[in-house]
Structure 1
């Protein structure tokens, strides 16, 4: 049995390495958007409802832009520490989950639909507690490598080369921010994951108990609720990524690219005030939400450059 668990663990790690490698360019572009880097000016367009708007490049166009600047290999900046983080996260999660047991654990061999109501509720609570504890341990253990990944990616903004290798990046983070630098952005990331798990778990239990009675349909409830919970808690991810690069010595984390935030709540307040908490959440349709005016039926972005040019004419 132990050999089977070890094989399962390492097969899961191998699968995650494959998936993360394939999706890395898209995730890379999303991170740059999340930290506020928009190198391609928005273009005039219309929404699906025919309203004038300014369109920003979608994720695939952003990936193409990164390739034109850094080449094909540049699309995989930060991949190595990201894979390290995922491997550590997977092992830490599974080891923690295996070590947590409950005295009132219902028989795992019995299908949930065949359990009495009180045992079904007990199983739901036990699984939630186990998942929460395992996820917290996994996030804390892997977060330093996630910070390295994010800072390697953020170097694209200013063209720096401070974070190139994993070991060198460990030294650089300590030099810039001390021990706390390894856990920059940890609190909003933890809160987002905890909130997501609680929302998904409780919603799945309630829907399966009071709304969905078909066994086959119930198998889709958890996946659907997990997706919706991730969407609801997405702003925590944006804030976490911003805090991971904020005031770290890179152009991406300093004014004018990004204000220096006193705390993650300060970052949240600033992004919320500017309607930026959901940036990077859309894959295909992205619209500029900053100050703009409609002139002759066309949207025009208002920026300092606009005022400067008008004043010199």
Structure 2
């Protein structure tokens, strides 16, 4: 008897399911990411617009809405142009997911003495802080390794996006882009802007773990009067302000990727030797 659709979905390997969801998310959000990257790099095809602040009459100069950028890119390159750099973006997320999965799988095999999370979090949370710290350190190691392996695809993606301004044909495909990057600066060229991106990723990983633990601890100590609180979703929601605060690190990373290249001239970027400049 054939399986129902719901049963089929339930039987899919969680890693494959997570990968499919990640790919769909990347495809859906890519035009927004594309526009955001161009804005980060300083692309200004339109003059700033004067707008009133929400809670005051103060007039401020702001960038036009993303939809205006979408329309501009669509007019220049068509609907396909909105997905420039999509392939390396998808490969990046899949490589990152695969590496994390493999490291987590090996970690579970090697930790036969690990206690159940409820044993660690509830009765003796404070007594098990060293254990929690150890888990965060291992997560940082996983994040670092996965970022090291997947980052070159992020570099290729940003360079392909940046080619929109100067219409460089050498960045039309992932293979020609990779070849051009290697030709310009060798293997190290793929890791320009790596440290601010890694710092951003580590900050979110550590913050996510700490917030999850706090929401789990709340179930016992009841700081917030809600017994059915979902720690995972609450920690993700609480991460949003932290993501915004850490956002400048992504901007620095993307600017460094085109630093000291012909793209710098296209975007009017002053060449800087390192990320803290």
Compared CA separation, residues 67 and 256, structure 1 to 2 (3 A): closer
Q: Does 1:11 align with 2:23?
A: no
Higher RCO (CA 8 Å, separation ≥ 6 residues): 1
The offset of 1:45, in angstroms, is 2.7
CA–CA distance in structure 2, aligned partners of residues 55 and 265 of structure 1: 26
Contact 1:197 / 1:229 at 8 angstroms: preserved in 2? no
Counting only pairs closer than 5 Å after superposition, residues 162-241 of structure 1 correspond to structure 2 as: 162-206=170-214, 208-209=217-218, 211-212=223-224, 214-217=226-229, 219=231, 220-241=233-254
Contact 1:147 / 1:184 at 8 angstroms: preserved in 2? yes
Aligned residues: 260
CA–CA distance in structure 2, aligned partners of residues 145 and 130 of structure 1: 24
TM-align CA RMSD? 2.5
TM-score by length of 1: 0.75
Q: Secondary structure at the match of 2:208?
A: helix
TM-score by length of 2: 0.84
Compared CA separation, residues 55 and 199, structure 1 to 2 (3 A): same
Q: Does 1:59 align with 2:72?
A: no
Q: Secondary structure at the match of 1:216?
A: coil
CA–CA distance in structure 1, aligned partners of residues 131 and 142 of structure 2: 16
Q: Which of 37, 43, 50 is the matching residue for 1:44?
A: 50
Q: Which of 33, 36, 41 is the matching residue for 1:30?
A: 36
Compared CA separation, residues 138 and 46, structure 1 to 2 (3 A): same
1:210-250 deviation per Cα after TM superposition (whole angstroms, max 9, x unaligned): 73363323524311232232122111111011111212332
CA–CA distance in structure 2, aligned partners of residues 256 and 74 of structure 1: 19
Q: Which of 143, 168, 180 is the matching residue for 1:160?
A: 168
Which structure has the highest helix share of the two?
Answer: 2
The offset of 1:197, in angstroms, is 2.1
